[in-house]
Structure formats: C-alpha cells, structure tokens
Amino acid sequence: MFGKRAQGGVAEAPSVAPPRPAAAPPPSAPVRREAEERAPKAPPPTVQIAERSDEYYQIKSQIFSALIDTIDLAQLARLDVDSAREEIRDIVSEIITIKNVVMSIAEQESLLDDICNDVLGYGPLEPLLARDDIADIMVNGANRVFIEVSGKIQLTNVRFRDNSQLLNICQRIVSQVGRRIDESSPICDARLLDGSRVNVIVPPLAIDGPTLTIRKFKKDKLKLSDLERFGSISPEGARILEIIGHCRCNVIVSGGTGSGKTTLLNCLTAFIDTTERVITCEDAAELQLQQPHVVRLETRPPNLEGQGEITMRDLVRNCLRMRPERIIVGEVRGPEAFDLLQAMNTGHDGSMGTLHANSPREALSRLESMITMGGFSLPSKTIREMICGSVDVIVQAARLRDGSRRITHITEVLGQEGDVIITQDLFVYEIEGEEAGRVIGRHRSTGIARPAFWDRARYFGREAELAEALSAAGG
C-alpha cells in the first residue's frame, strides 16, 4: 500500500531531506579515525546505529500505516522539507497518544525521526548517509545492510520494512536522474544530491531483493598530507608524488576496487599549476580540482529507448578539441584507453587516469587488452610501443587485508626490450608482518637515484628535491 502511494507522492515530493547530522553523529572526524586506525591502542570502530527491537518495528509499522491513512501526500509535497517534517511529527505524536502506545521519550523521538526519514528522505539509510566516516553503504535486500568503515566491511542492524520499501527508496533515488527502475530496466546508476555515487540493481537480476550500493561522497577529499598522516605513503613518497604531479608526468593510478584510486588521482591533481587548462572526464563527477581553469565533463548513459549515450571515449575525443593542457580521466575501462594514450603522446603531457589492476604490470596488460578489445586492429608490438611512449609513471594503490589503504608502488615505464615492456620500481611498500591484526610494513625507495623523469624534474627546477626525497626514502 505504502509503495504505490508513496511513489505517487514522491513524483512531486520535495525530493529529499538533507542528511541530518543529528540523526547519528559520526563517532569522530575521518582524519582522526584513520590516525586512530594506525594507533595500536585505539578502540576498533563500532557500528553506532541505535538498536531496534522487533517490537519497535511492529509499532512503527502500525503507526506508519495510520499516518499514511491520515496524511494528504499531495499537500505534504507542497510544503518545504522542514514544514513537512513538523507536520509529520505533529500527526505521529497524535497517533501515538490516540493509540496509547507505551514508549519512552527517547524511543518516541527516534520513531519520529525514522518516520520522517521514511516519508521525506531515504528512510533507514538516512542515519548512515549522515555519517561522514562511512565510505560505502551496501544494501543487499531489506534485511542486510553493510557499511565500510576504516576499510572494514561490517553488517549493521539497519533494516527496511520490506523489499517494497527498499524498492521505493531506490525509485526515489533514481528518479533524481530522470530514471525509473523496474523489471524492464532493472539496472541504474544514479547520484544523490550530495554527490554520492549509487548503483541500483533489482529483481529479477538481483535474486534476493533490490540491491543498492552507495559510494559516499566525501565533501573534504583526502589530501596527500592526510594520506601521509594515515601512513598510506611516507613523507618522502609523498614528495615524489608531488614532483610527479607537478612535472607533468603522464600517470596511471592503478588499484583494486575501493583501493583509493580516485582519492589518489585527486591528490595528484593538487600539484597542477594554476595556469594550466585541465579537462576532467568522469562517469560520475568525483574529482575536486582546486585550480581555476578546469572543465568538468561527465558521461551520459543511454535513455530508456537506448539512445543518447555519451561514452567516455566520446568525451576524451571531444576533449582533444577543447585545447586541453592536461586531460584527467576518472576511470579508464574501455577503448578510451587508446585516446588517452594518444593524448599523452601528442603534447598533452601531464595527463592522468585511473584503472583497475592489482599491480603495475597488470595495469600495463589491462591497458593493452582495453585497446585490443576496443577493436583497434593494431599489432601488440605497436600497442606496447604506444604505451611506453605515453605512460611515464604508474602509481599503485591497494587496500590491505587489515582494511588499511597504502600506496604500494611508484613505478616508471622505461621502454621496450623485444616484446617486453621494461618497468622500474622507484618506491615500494614492503610488508614486514602483522601485529594484532594490523599489517606492519614500510615504504622505501629501491635505490634508483636518477629516475627516467629526472630531466623533466630538472626542467621544472625540482631535481634537487627529487634526489633528496629518493635518498631520504632509503634503500
């Protein structure tokens, strides 16, 4: 019942209530949390969602039905979010009194909040969305909601009333990008108002109910100094990355899912000179460049009729006609690899992109296979030549088994010997062991005193700094 009516209301509803920090305050600032993550004495992060009993859910369901019978959704939709919230709170308080429900003041307050969230916002997701320390929210059907905090995935006690409530919320999310989700179109990518990236897949494709994956948007993106503080990179490593970013090296950031590729790319872009014209191409705009001269482009999925799609390749190719000085591709996953490499090769040095691979070598073979699979009939020798001529540095990110994120390699692409691409690690992270569930290791330079981008560094007047960082990183 709620499903249909709520959908009707949602079409004109005052969209979404902004996340309310009061719902569940983050336990601590993200920076501090990560610092604590490294400190052996720090308590492990806990899932701070108020415990709800089955009885609570039953009462909530009764009150909710009574509310829906009483309230005029169309009228509610005309109110602004705060007034609508007030209105709902008044009616719910009245229902609680009439029905003679026995509840403590605290329980009543959380019930009021929950119901407001259900009607106006993203329901049970709201307290999770309000928390800044959560990186991902993963909803596998109505009763299983996982979150990722400090690199660790944890099950929460958040539940939806049933799959239809969850589907409703999915519908509300995708309606913001002008889409509907149903059996005939069961997959959708969308974005929340705060910029968080969302993927929805529903039955029959998702067998156990609507499945929602949210990558929370961090308003304050991590900076290289933050990564340094968390131990993701050593201070010397950070200096090397800074020089790489500044000296217009062509960089591929490689890493697994959620390993911190986009974050790292964003950090590298911080060292781009403010005078440079930068064009970014992304599937969902996540990068936050601080330079004044940035053009941000975003791909577009096809509409319901399967038309109007603008692919990453279209964007990158168009970019070349926009007089870019640097091109930044959020994620390279297909034939756009060819265009990015060409751009890198033809005067747009300092271009960067991320790709999904578990080691620098794998990143190279992924690049090659993306070009081969993109239908370019080039011999593999030519493709490799192209890769060698374009990519200067591969920076590898990884999420280790203890959930911490590290930059594990800074690797240079040197050239080709026969059929093989020659690379050289400048800087690596070595795992030395494990202590109380935490991976212990250290970053060190491999002893190369003159990297291949030395001349570049000299051209930008940073060779002394580079030499110093490399030697301080030790052997």
Site residues (vs Mg ion, CB under 5 A)? 261-262
Determine which residue in the list 60, 172, 179, 218 makes contact with ligand ATP, applying CB under 6 A. 218
Residues numbered 401 to 440 that lie near ligand ATP (CB under 6 A) are: 405
CB of 151 to ligand ATP, least distance (A): 7
Residue 152: strand, helix, or coil: strand
445 binds ligand ATP (CB under 6 A): no
Q: Tell me how far apart the alpha carbons of residues 260 and 270 are, in angstroms, rounded to a whole number.
A: 16
Candidates 20-28, 186-194, 203-211, 215-223: pick the segment binding ligand ATP (CB under 6 A): 215-223
- Strand 393-399 relative to strand 352-356, pairing: unpaired
Closer Cβ to Mg ion, 6 or 268, answer by number: 268
CB of 315 to ligand ATP, least distance (A): 17
Q: Are 217 and 196 in contact (CB under 8 A)?
A: yes
Q: Which residues 6+ apart lie within 8 Å of 96 measured at CB?
A: 63, 103, 108, 111
Any idea what the Cα angle at residue 28 is, between residues 23 and 29, rounded to 5°? 105
Q: Are 283 and 297 in contact (CB under 8 A)?
A: no
Candidates 258-266, 318-326, 376-384, 432-440: pick the segment binding ligand ATP (CB under 6 A): 258-266
CB of 303 to ligand ATP, least distance (A): 25
CB of 260 to ligand ATP, least distance (A): 3
Determine which residue in the list 196, 259, 280, 411 makes contact with ligand ATP, applying CB under 6 A. 259
Tokens of 84: 């609508």
Closer Cβ to ligand ATP, 168 or 266, answer by number: 266
CB of 288 to ligand ATP, least distance (A): 12
Cα dist from 321 to 97, 289, 314, 348, 356, whole Å: 66, 21, 11, 12, 27
CB of 380 to ligand ATP, least distance (A): 27
Closer Cβ to ligand ATP, 211 or 263, answer by number: 263
Q: Which residues 6+ apart lie within 8 Å of 328 measured at CB?
A: 265, 269, 278, 279, 280, 281, 287, 289, 351, 352, 353
Determine which residue in the list 2, 122, 160, 230 makes contact with ligand ATP, applying CB under 6 A. 230
The Cβ of residue 115 has, within 10 Å, a number of other Cβ atoms equal to 21
Provide the binding-site residues for ligand ATP, judged by CB under 6 A.
34, 135, 215, 218, 222, 227, 230, 232, 255, 257-263, 405
